[in-house]
Amino acid sequence: MSSIRSSLLLRRALIADAVCSGTMGIAMLSFAAVLGGELELPARLFAEAGIVLLPFAAFVAFLATRAQPARFAVWTVIVLNLIWAVDSVLLLLTGWVAPNALGYAFIIGQAVIVLIFADLQYLGLRRSAAAAV
């Protein structure tokens, strides 16, 4: 498995992603019923998303602290972020949920933020040099 020397951009993008994902995971778990009511989305959706975000945040934080993370692991984070963003939009387009306007804004807004993280991580990965073997 090839490792890279993490660029400053990659490290910071991973840290920001880990902090935001962890914070959102805790908030979604703690306030699932409140968020569900305010956004007209199922509370269970928030609780399950929060459960998914916490180990993801821990994994991303672990990668961010490595001087030489595995290239595959960084790509995994990027791909998972892309999947999250696409799934968020599909959630709205398929009609699985019927949120109010604030719910639409929330889902689209968090999808855009996740896409920004994926983009910054990709750019940071490109700036990272291959690690010495």
Predicted TM-score of the model (pTM): 0.93
Q: Rounded to whole angstroms, how far apart are CA atoms 97 and 29?
A: 19
3-class DSSP assignment, residue 100: coil
What distance separates the 2 farthest-apart alpha carbons in the chain? 53
Confidence of residue 6 (pLDDT cuts 50, 70, 90): very high
Confidence of residue 1 (pLDDT cuts 50, 70, 90): low
Confidence of residue 129 (pLDDT cuts 50, 70, 90): confident
Q: What is the DSSP letter of 68?
A: S
| pLDDT, average across residues 29-53 | 97
